Structure 1
Amino acid sequence: MTGPFQAANKQSNPLGELTQSRGSGRYTFGLALSAGLAGLLYGYDTVSISGAIDFLHLRYHLGTLLEGTIMSSIMFGGILGAMFAGFLADQYGRRCVLIAGGTLFFFASLLSALAIDPFTLIAARSIGGIGIGLAAALAVTYITESAPTHIRGTLAFSYQMLAVCGIFMTNIINYVIASHGDIAWDINLGWRWMLGIGAVPAAVFVVAMLQAPESPRFLT
């Protein structure tokens, strides 16, 4: 039984000595925050639609069914993303799938802001949901596979912490946007800003993950 473990230990580690020494905390904490930004995306999109839905209701005269579909469409996509996240991660690596998830969310945010009708918005949010499902399913896995054992539990909290920060931040953003103009401005443009600003943290997440290495566990 010792043979395979000894062979695995001798394989090169893309994080180098940083994952083996107690001086690795700063570097791996940066990796954890990079992957944990997936939680920020989840928190942002969960709340942003709550601020926009009243204005969408007035703009498109939404019925109960259509309003509920817009609200829950991200969950439909999230189910698909989470369903295939493990398979894709085993084939292409955690980092690659996390980048794909962030990219989908980036374009979905822009498409949501440019939506011309409720059905376009539903499609955009479904695409964003796939991205969220991919990222949410793998962010903690990436963190734990990249962290040294002595700080693994400490770093694993970053996803949930950033999800809560995303929820808090989005409430503030929604309030600022809704207070920026009158009700007519909110109905025509305000909700677009609420949904479209999600592209900013998505872009930060993708750029951060492009700079990150693949998780050592996947490479063994």
Structure 2
Amino acid sequence: MEDVTSDRTVPVTGGSGRFVYVVAAAAAVGGLLFGYDTGIISAALLYIAEDFAIGSGMQQIVVSAILVGAILGALGSGRLSDRLGRRPVVLITAIVFAVGALAAAFAPNAALLIVARLLLGIAVGASSQIVPVYIAELSPARTRGGLVVLFQLMITVGILAAYVAGYAFSGGSGWRQMFGLGVVPALVLALAMVVLPESPRWLLIHRGADAAAQVLRRVRGAGADVAAEVAEIEASRHDEGGRFRDLLAQRWVRPALVAGLGLAMFSQITGVNVVIYYAPTILATSGFGESAAILATVGVGVVNMLMVVVGTFLVDRIGRRRLLLVLLPLAVLSLVVLGAVFLGGDPEGAGRGVAVAAIMGFIAFNGGSLSVVLWLYGSEVFPLSVRGAATSASALTVWVFNLLVALTTLSLTEGIGVTATFWMYAVVNALAWLFVLRLVPETRGRSLEQIEASLRAGTFRVGAGR
């Protein structure tokens, strides 16, 4: 049997430089699976509730099971990728995605569906940690932003595909086909990872400089100064494999932890997944029919995807920080308007159109900023010696707060009302803007080794010179 941690599948001859785009696009299919398997519950939940006769409490457990699994996947994948390599962990994750999709499609009852969603969650959590790191470690500094954001773009494509599948298979037991479709991209990702290269940074530590140089020659193309890049990686090399307890013990890493984990937290508690998970349910109970609610959510998915496309082009042009500072205030405004629409009860007539427009506006401005920057920033800001543990901590933060949001959203809207819920999220978005302003330095155009050097020098802070 082939050793999946080897790099025999990678030619040692020079490449065109375009190969890195192929690698990033193929690996980003993990993002599509992430988006599809988290987004499909949005439409499926309406029919699962009828099929299995479950109430709102059990519905929240069905939704949240994937998030519990994601926490487990995020916890274990970082250390595993440090030991086995980035590539084999992505391959294992693809296989788990396929098994989980089949198990969900054939689940005979709510209990086994929850188990299947838990399994899918493990794959989602692992992919959220390892795929951005894999792409970042293969990408050159000048295009790293756009290439890593391909992961987020594919998440939105997956969510949109889930919405379309939800509309296409709406009614009856069509939710089983919705889940089953997830097998197809899982197999595509698995096949791709059999032939794609290992991370050169992982190879340098575990196989030596020659192995890293072979991959870099392939992905950088003719004329690239591979020797200089290998030397830069080697100069920043420290023994990899830091554990969670080591992160706080190293004071120089703390600014990266504050920025990275803070963005991870705000990406969830600002409420974007309220729309992704519960928009059809909220709209259906607000006077929209079930099919109309799902169709409106397809529009949300289109807007989400388009804004991430815009963000993909902007992160390497205007920077991560400026993108956040420009768009987050508009997300606040969208939530204020959305809450106001529900002030007098369920919207009617033109109010329904305003509600849909406000939801789409929020998705555009929050999804086009925090969601774009989240996985990119976490993959580039942490030093190599603790990257596995730190990115696991970042992904863990995402999924813990995602779970908190999923478990409380329906209870909040029923307890304090829709208006108060959306206005609460508006305040949180404003706090996210202040956090970025004070504590999130720019990383655009800097190599991973340059970012690490600034951390070690104590200059990784807002306003410090590059």
Q: TM-score normalised to the size of structure 2?
A: 0.41
- Look up the match of 1:92: 84
2-structure distance, mates of 1:46, 1:60: 20
Say if 2:46 is the partner of 1:62. Answer: no
Q: Per-residue CA shift, 1:157-205, capped at 9, x if unaligned?
A: 1101111111112211211111xxxxxxx32x30100111111111111
Contact 1:36 1:139 in 2 (8 A): yes
Say if 2:103 is the partner of 1:124. Answer: no
Q: For residues 32 and 212 of structure 1, do their structure 2 counterparts lie closer, same or farther at Cα, with a shift above 3 Å needed?
A: same
- Look up the match of 1:115: 107
Query: 3-state DSSP class of the match of 1:62?
Result: coil
1:132-211 mapped onto 2 (5 Å cutoff):
132-178=124-170, 186-187=171-172, 189-211=173-195
Query: 3-state DSSP class of the match of 1:115?
Result: coil
- Look up the match of 1:47: 39
- Look up the match of 1:5: none
Moved more, 47-56 or 113-122: 47-56
Residue type at the aligned position of 1:148:
P
* 1:30 aligned to which of 22, 27, 51: 22
2-structure distance, mates of 1:45, 1:192: 13
Q: Displacement of 1:218 after TM fit?
A: 0.7
Residue type at the aligned position of 2:87:
R
Query: 3-state DSSP class of the match of 1:156?
Result: helix
Q: Displacement of 1:16 after TM fit?
A: 4.1
* 1:218 aligned to which of 187, 202, 214: 202
2-structure distance, mates of 1:114, 1:62: 18
Contact 1:15 1:213 in 2 (8 A): no
2-structure distance, mates of 1:120, 1:93: 32
* 2:75 aligned to which of 83, 108, 115: 83
| Larger relative helix fraction | 1
1-structure distance, mates of 2:78, 2:147: 21
Contact 1:139 1:159 in 2 (8 A): yes
2-structure distance, mates of 1:82, 1:74: 12
Contact 1:102 1:132 in 2 (8 A): no
2-structure distance, mates of 1:15, 1:63: 55
Query: 3-state DSSP class of the match of 1:157?
Result: helix
2-structure distance, mates of 1:71, 1:176: 21
Residue type at the aligned position of 1:59:
D
Q: Per-residue CA shift, 1:30-56, capped at 9, x if unaligned?
A: 100111111101110121111111111
Q: Displacement of 1:215 after TM fit?
A: 1.0
Residue type at the aligned position of 1:198:
G
1-structure distance, mates of 2:31, 2:91: 14
- Look up the match of 2:339: none
1-structure distance, mates of 2:158, 2:11: 29
Q: For residues 163 and 15 of structure 1, do their structure 2 counterparts lie closer, same or farther at Cα, with a shift above 3 Å needed?
A: farther
Q: Displacement of 1:149 after TM fit?
A: 3.4
Larger Rg: 2
Question: Greater relative contact order (Cα 8 A, min sep 6): structure 1 or 2?
Answer: 1
**Structure 2 unaligned blocks of 5 or more:** 1-9, 205-466
1-structure distance, mates of 2:13, 2:159: 36
Contact 1:42 1:163 in 2 (8 A): yes
**CA root-mean-square deviation:** 1.5
Q: Per-residue CA shift, 1:136-174, capped at 9, x if unaligned?
A: 111110001112334323311110111111111221121
Q: Displacement of 1:17 after TM fit?
A: 5.7
Q: Displacement of 1:118 after TM fit?
A: 0.4
1:1-20 mapped onto 2 (5 Å cutoff):
16=12, 18=14
1-structure distance, mates of 2:120, 2:146: 29
2-structure distance, mates of 1:142, 1:116: 37
Identity percentage of aligned residues: 35
**Structure 1 unaligned blocks of 5 or more:** 1-13, 179-185
